[in-house]
Amino acid sequence: LVYEDEPIGFLVFIETEAERRFTDEERQVAAALGEQAAAAIHNAQLLRRTAVQKRRLELLLESTRAISSSVDLDEVLEIVARTAGELLGSQECRIQEYDPVGNTVRPVALWQRMHDEPAPIGQVVPLGDAPRDRVFIEACEVLEQRYSDPELPAATRALFDEYGDRARLNVPLVFNGRPVGALVLVEKERERHWSEDEVALAKALAEQAAVAIEHARLYKRVQDQAVTDGLTGLYNHRHFYDRLEREIA
């Protein structure tokens, strides 16, 4: 089966009772049927790719709107994690915040296709025992990890065992050239290899997550500055009355 000089399959006629010899006319009919089958397969593949692309654009638009309309970091990161997991067909997506001073990462958002496993949210993970994990963040490069990789650090392998992971796609979150965390796509059933298109899509979503984290940090900083004294760091007159109104209410 050939479509535009590209082989896409076979059409096979089988005889099980006798050694049949096909005539030239039968061969021509089979070839014509093969052309129709090739065109049908091509159109079905094109329709499927179009549907997948449409769904991807819808989810990307949803996450973009969430980032532009909300300053609630938890809400935004939850949407980004769900979008990445659904778009790339992963069992799990984690968003981690990176602390360069403490050399740690901390999961701040988690989406799971199945909700029957404990969520490692809030568990600080030191990177001292897994230098490759820190290198990919600081170098702002994508890192694929698979359980069968003999070079997988022992500390990372222990985490794979703890969470039942088989493969991870680690995408750094970068804002203004500075790493702020990582978006981690997780496979638990197989050692998956991600395509270039899938990696590019994951990087686009990681950019959104990085922007969300920085915007939320900036918003919190502005809020803090509005209710605290710049010199002493103590709460100011405005904060006292705002709090008093909430307590009375």
Write the Ramachandran bin of 5: left for phi over 0, alpha for psi from -120 to 50, otherwise beta. Answer: left
Confidence of residue 47 (pLDDT cuts 50, 70, 90): confident
* Structural contact between residues 181 and 105, judged by C-beta atoms closer than 8 angstroms: yes
pLDDT at 176 (0 to 100): 86
Cβ-contact 212, 67 below 8 angstroms: yes
pLDDT, mean of residues 12-23: 92
What is the tens place of the pLDDT at every residue in 188-239? 989 999 988 889 888 888 887 788 777 777 777 787 777 888 788 888 888 8
Q: Which residues pair with 220 in a beta bridge?
A: none
d(CA 120, CA 110): 8
The predicted-structure confidence for 105-147, as pLDDT tens digits, reads as follows 888 888 998 765 555 566 777 777 666 777 778 888 899 999 9
Please name the helix (run of DSSP H) or strand (run of DSSP E) that holds residue 212, with its range, or none: helix 196-227
- Which positions ≥6 away from 223 have C-beta within 8 Å? none
Q: Is this prediction's pTM over 0.85?
A: no
Average pLDDT of the chain to the nearest whole number: 84
In our burial notation (b when 16+ CB lie closer than 10 A, e otherwise), range 153-186 reads: bebbeebbeeeebbbbbbbbbbbeeebbbbbbbb
Q: Report how far residue 104's alpha carbon sits from residue 181's, in angstroms, rounded to the nearest whole number.
A: 10
Beta strands in the chain (DSSP E): 2-3, 6-7, 92-99, 104-112, 125-126, 143-146, 167-175, 178-187
The pLDDT, as a whole number, for residue 79 is 82
Structure confidence by residue, pLDDT tens digits, 58-99? 777 776 776 666 667 777 788 888 888 888 889 999 888 888
Tokens for 12?
């096979």
Phi, psi of 56, deg, nearest 5: -65, -45
